[in-house]
Amino acid sequence: MGPELQAQIAELNIVCLAGGVGGAKLASGLAQIAPTQHLTIIVNTGDDFQLLGLTICPDMDTVTYTLGDVSNLQTGWGREGESWVTIEEVRRLGGPSWFSLGDLDLATHLVRSQFLAEGQTLTSATRHLCTQYGIKTQLLPMSDQAAPTMIVTKDDVLPFQTWFVKEGWQPAIRQVQLPQDVRATAQVIHALEKADIVIVAPSNPFVSIDPILNVYPIREMIMDLPRAVVAVSPIVGGKAIKGPAAKMMAEMGLPVSAAAVASYYGELIDGFICDQEDAHISQTIHCETLVCDTIMRNKGDRARLAEDVLGFALSVAD
């Protein structure tokens, strides 16, 4: 990174909206290059659910494990070096075992559930866990209220993780249902008030980013406040990098393309970053567009993309 860009970044207050894997990787890249005290990751909690007495926050855990450098890079979820003694016994005892909780991962949910049972907020429990995982970047749940994302299929209305994991995201989606009257925390509002740049991570627009924007007044603040809002496409060459984004777009009657994602975000964003594979469609995008390599295979890729994104955001802001 050039000294000029470095100096500019050092002055920025940056907020990143993140879901699971894609969000975690970009957050980790941002954490490598931006000053800790100026970076906040607002994480989707629409996937959170209760199982086996525990409160499980899949997106927050993915971001935490990635930033804490303990994530399983093979699976894209869970802890590295994981074992499965307890969940195998849960299965043997006839309990629900469709959500693969490893023995190390389980400790996170147990400690979180303990703090919540003591009356702490999810924000406070998250801060505690981040400290224990050695994470200095501020990770904030979008809300301390429950805000379950529901997936409407032909036959059912399913909580997100039931659809995503238990049903293997196979039932065709008709609609994503987001809850009414969920409020952002004071910490989220404070971070957005200060934000110069908001980055929408390459996460699923419908079930990772929309749930965050749906929390009042996050969308309103992002429309009004920052100098620039830029989004990174989760769709590359007409396919999702990971997960059901492409399948959902097709089922909801949208073109499966980076341009359609940009168009979906519409007036919210001032700039859009798509992969070089989609360079040919960059002219059709309604806002300023950066074409670069958006695939994050390793830590170096994450930092490089973070740098590209911030440099672009600064140019858009000017």
CB-CB contact of 239 with 246 (8 Å): yes
Phi, psi (deg, nearest 5) at residue 30:
-60, -40
d(CA 14, CA 6) in angstroms, rounded, equals 14
- Using alpha carbons, select from 299, 286, 308 the residue that is nearest to residue 232: 308
Angle at 99 between CA 98 and CA 100, to 5 degrees: 105
Q: How many residues bind its own copies (CB under 8 A)?
A: 34
**Which range, of 7-15, 98-106, 168-176, 182-190, touches its own copies by CB under 8 A?**
98-106
* 75 touches its own copies (CB under 8 A): no
If you search the block for the tokens 């008030």, which residue do you land on? Answer: 193
Longest CA–CA separation in the chain, Å = 60
Q: Which one of residues 104, 150, 152, 268 is an interface residue with its own copies (CB under 8 A)?
A: 104
| Closer by beta carbon to its own copies, 36 or else 83 | 83
If you search the block for the tokens 């301390």, which residue do you land on? Answer: 144
| Closer by beta carbon to its own copies, 82 or else 301 | 82
d(CA 264, CA 279) in angstroms, rounded, equals 18
One character per residue 127-166, x = contact with its own copies (rule: CB under 8 A): -xx-xxx---------------------------------
**Which range, of 2-10, 39-47, 81-89, 290-298, touches its own copies by CB under 8 A?**
81-89
Q: Which one of residues 66, 72, 108, 162 is an interface residue with its own copies (CB under 8 A)?
A: 108
d(CA 183, CA 123) in angstroms, rounded, equals 13
* 57 touches its own copies (CB under 8 A): no
Q: Which two tokens stand for residue 74?
A: 């093979």
| Closer by beta carbon to its own copies, 51 or else 317 | 51
* 282 touches its own copies (CB under 8 A): no
Q: Interface with its own copies by CB under 8 A: which residues?
A: 50-55, 83, 85-87, 89-90, 92-96, 103-104, 106-111, 113-114, 116-117, 128-129, 131-133
